[in-house]
Structure 1
Amino acid sequence: MARPLRIALVAGEASGDILGSGLMQALKARHPSIEFIGIGGPRMQAEGLSSYFPMERLSVMGLVEVLGRLPELLSRRKRLIRTLIAERPDVFIGIDAPDFNLGLELKLRQAGIKTVHYVSPSVWAWRQKRVLKIRDACDLMLTLFPFEARFYLEHDVPVRFVGHPLANTIELRADRQAARESLGLPDDVPVVALMPGSRGGEVTRLGELFLDAAERLRALRPGVHFVLPCASAERRAQLEQMLGSRSLPLMLLDGRSHEALAACDAVLIASGTATLEALLFKRPMVVAYRVAPLTYRILKRLVHSPYISLPNLLAERMLVPELIQDAATPDALAQTLSPLLDGGQIQTEGFDVIHRALRHDASAQAADAVLKLVGEA
């Protein structure tokens, strides 16, 4: 028997693990025999990936924050390059994590291994010269958003816009009442979801801020209730400590972020992938973010995009408020969030247009593109 198709994948965080598992499912549905190797989280491992080391060792963010982990990351990548060149996969797929994966892809492509990068880095917003490295590193770029594909076409990078898997997973109309029943929330009160991020560093910077904002909002809207989905047991313990003796009507959830979004009327949310989920659930939002002061000063000089949040990038206008760094104060967040409890119709109408534009069955399209690249379509 011929050996199975061998596909290597590397994901660096939870969102990549979700994308990778969906792609693996679609690949298995289209090819009779596939072997998966690389780095991934529990979802990808459940689909059959043999992970060389825990995905969490790649999960780090921020320009300053990464410095302490840089020696480990470089060492792991060097060993991974040697391993994959020895294994000779038919194709390598780097899922997001561009600072780790693009260097890996370049070395593998130079060794004659076909390479795909799934999820474009924000090259259109900052460090645009990276597109030259991407062109050298990737046989194919798979983008989740249409504006990214336009950028790559302009720079002669082979690209395919596949849409976003969540746009198919999440229904066009979420059932708020059913979600509230599932979570044990009353029907007759406004509910705000607090989503300060999934990483420990994000929660350190934003957790207290979001809780302070909730207290200010409670003063403006005495009947409001809150839900806060926790990404892990560690994040829950971190947030419980921050809550201390506060008397907020707040429900901490273990995961269940989609139920929280379906149940709520509005969202206070950290900039990141979760803003897309809030968009797809059609929930009005206020986006906030803080990073280390030095990181912020560096990024302010480098970033050329007028927006930081995905809803605004996709709408190509200021559809949702963005309160960043010093502008993100408890009072400002509460004052901006309060009117959204009355409907936020301008936001939700824009969200619906974007949702429909992203519904392309991304995992299936990505799998088709990968198999076509390796001649197995």
Structure 2
Amino acid sequence: MVSTLRVALVAGEASGDILGAGLMQALKARHPGVEFLGVGGPRMEAEGLRSYFPMERLSVMGLVEVLGRLFELLWRRRRLIRTLLAERPDVFIGIDAPDFNLGLELKLRRAGIRTVHYVSPSVWAWRQKRVFKIRQACDLMLTLFPFEARFYQEHGVPVRFVGHPLANTIPLQVDRAAARRSLDLADEATVVALLPGSRGGEVSRLGPLFLDAAERLSLLRPGLRFVLPCASPARREQLEQLLIGRNLPLGLLDGRSHEALAACDAVLIASGTATLEALLHQRPMVVAYRVANLTYRILRRLIKTTLFSLPNLLAGRQLVPEFIQDAATPAALAEAMSTLLQDGQAQTESFAEIHRILRQDASVQAAEAVLALVGR
């Protein structure tokens, strides 16, 4: 008989729910007698998680929003610690959400429960002293990117690079012709995708900038077509307002960002996870980002890296042009995009190599690392 393995997991947002569900599937395939408890979303619950409360109670972003919910978050963490100490799982896996999960992991590990943290916080970029708390809190760190694993090795934290699930989801060669047919784009058209972010604040700051850059780019290269995926109905409405009075050959899409990336010749994109998706689709890109000026001045003093976008961090060099804050102007973005449309091959060749490195079947790698840790 296979002994029961009791695994506790806590995910705090939709991306963690996806990672957690994949990990749970892989654990069940390798250890049929497994029981899951903790906190997760609908995907993790569908895999058999007994969730103590809705994951949405942990889904909070921004300093002001966190402060407004701080009492509840601390109360829920205290309750979770008591519950998990009573349940005594064989292993606890905190999925991202480091501000919530690391404190939980520290308490559980001190009580003799093995702990894993899945998805590294950006400790290599800022607040680097957190690595000492991480070393105390978790028996094993699972990272999505190889440069993160090197950082933890240098600081004496047990770590395993497992790859990124998207690298297996997105094929090594995407079908551009099929994507263009699905979006009703001509094969011979030169298409630029605009991805100014998925949140309202991002679209407020970057939407006008990207549209201004697109207008300038249209003057530099007549005949361009633009596509802009909208993350939600609210974002579509926001962008429709920004398009009033503009004469751009641009189509708004409801979601369908992967199709837009597969179909386009190049992309102007906000710094963030979407840049990884563009890289895996092997599309040349120019990256831009803006935050509130006060936020930028504070972060600029804290951030230790000179590279900001994921493609550059993964390459370890300035592979893609990135324009941050005041450097992100319509003229600069349009000029960089024009140059990129002429020759983006150097980028895409490096993207293909990075894609192969990240294509590790992350859920399987993570499951094997967890099972090795608990000796199963």
Query: Is the contact between residue 62 and residue 291 of structure 1 (CA under 8 Å) also seen in structure 2?
Result: no
Query: Is the contact between residue 265 and residue 341 of structure 1 (CA under 8 Å) also seen in structure 2?
Result: yes
Point out where structure 1 has 5 or more consecutive residues left out of the alignment: none
Q: Residue 293 of structure 1 corresponds to which residue in structure 2? A: 293
Matches within 5 A, 1:87-236: 87-236=87-236
Q: Offset of 1:353 from its aligned partner?
A: 1.5
1:10–1:228 Cα change, 3 Å: farther
Query: Is the contact between residue 208 and residue 242 of structure 1 (CA under 8 Å) also seen in structure 2?
Result: yes
Q: Offset of 1:254 from its aligned partner?
A: 2.6
Deviates more, 1:326-335 or 1:306-315: 326-335
Identity value in percent: 80
Q: State the alpha-carbon separation in 2 of the partners of residues 72 and 43 from structure 1.
A: 24
Query: Is the contact between residue 15 and residue 273 of structure 1 (CA under 8 Å) also seen in structure 2?
Result: no
Q: State the alpha-carbon separation in 2 of the partners of residues 70 and 101 from structure 1.
A: 14
Alignment of 1:49 with 2:49, yes or no, is yes
- Name the SS for the 1:36 alignment partner: strand
Report the residue type matching 2:134 in the other structure: I
1:235–1:101 Cα change, 3 Å: farther
1:365–1:247 Cα change, 3 Å: same
Q: Residue 350 of structure 1 corresponds to which residue in structure 2? A: 350
Query: Is the contact between residue 2 and residue 33 of structure 2 (CA under 8 Å) also seen in structure 1?
Result: no
- Name the SS for the 1:106 alignment partner: helix
TM-score, normalised by the number of residues in structure 2: 0.92
- Name the SS for the 1:121 alignment partner: coil
Alignment of 1:21 with 2:30, yes or no, is no
1:155–1:57 Cα change, 3 Å: same
Alignment of 1:328 with 2:328, yes or no, is yes
Query: Is the contact between residue 231 and residue 254 of structure 1 (CA under 8 Å) also seen in structure 2?
Result: yes
Query: Is the contact between residue 2 and residue 32 of structure 2 (CA under 8 Å) also seen in structure 1?
Result: no
Q: Offset of 1:213 from its aligned partner?
A: 2.1
Q: Residue 275 of structure 1 corresponds to which residue in structure 2? A: 275
Q: Offset of 1:64 from its aligned partner?
A: 6.2
Q: State the alpha-carbon separation in 1 of the partners of residues 294 and 75 from structure 2.
A: 26
1:252–1:28 Cα change, 3 Å: farther
- Name the SS for the 2:187 alignment partner: coil
Q: Offset of 1:79 from its aligned partner?
A: 3.4
Report the residue type matching 1:246 in the other structure: R
Q: Residue 11 of structure 1 corresponds to which residue in structure 2? A: 11
Q: Residue 31 of structure 2 corresponds to which residue in structure 1? A: 31
Q: State the alpha-carbon separation in 1 of the partners of residues 240 and 88 from structure 2.
A: 47
Point out where structure 2 has 5 or more consecutive residues left out of the alignment: none
1:89–1:200 Cα change, 3 Å: farther
Q: Offset of 1:182 from its aligned partner?
A: 1.5
Q: Offset of 1:69 from its aligned partner?
A: 4.4
Query: Is the contact between residue 8 and residue 91 of structure 1 (CA under 8 Å) also seen in structure 2?
Result: yes
Deviates more, 1:346-355 or 1:220-229: 220-229
- Name the SS for the 2:201 alignment partner: helix
TM-score, normalised by the number of residues in structure 1: 0.92
Q: Residue 244 of structure 1 corresponds to which residue in structure 2? A: 244
Q: State the alpha-carbon separation in 1 of the partners of residues 204 and 325 from structure 2.
A: 14
Query: Is the contact between residue 117 and residue 141 of structure 1 (CA under 8 Å) also seen in structure 2?
Result: yes
1:139–1:351 Cα change, 3 Å: same
Report the residue type matching 1:107 in the other structure: K
Query: Is the contact between residue 62 and residue 295 of structure 1 (CA under 8 Å) also seen in structure 2?
Result: no
Q: Offset of 1:238 from its aligned partner?
A: 3.0
Q: State the alpha-carbon separation in 2 of the partners of residues 240 and 162 from structure 1.
A: 40
1:250–1:37 Cα change, 3 Å: farther
Q: State the alpha-carbon separation in 2 of the partners of residues 331 and 75 from structure 1.
A: 50
1:77–1:205 Cα change, 3 Å: farther
Report the residue type matching 2:199 in the other structure: R
Q: State the alpha-carbon separation in 2 of the partners of residues 96 and 301 from structure 1.
A: 24
The number of aligned residues is 376
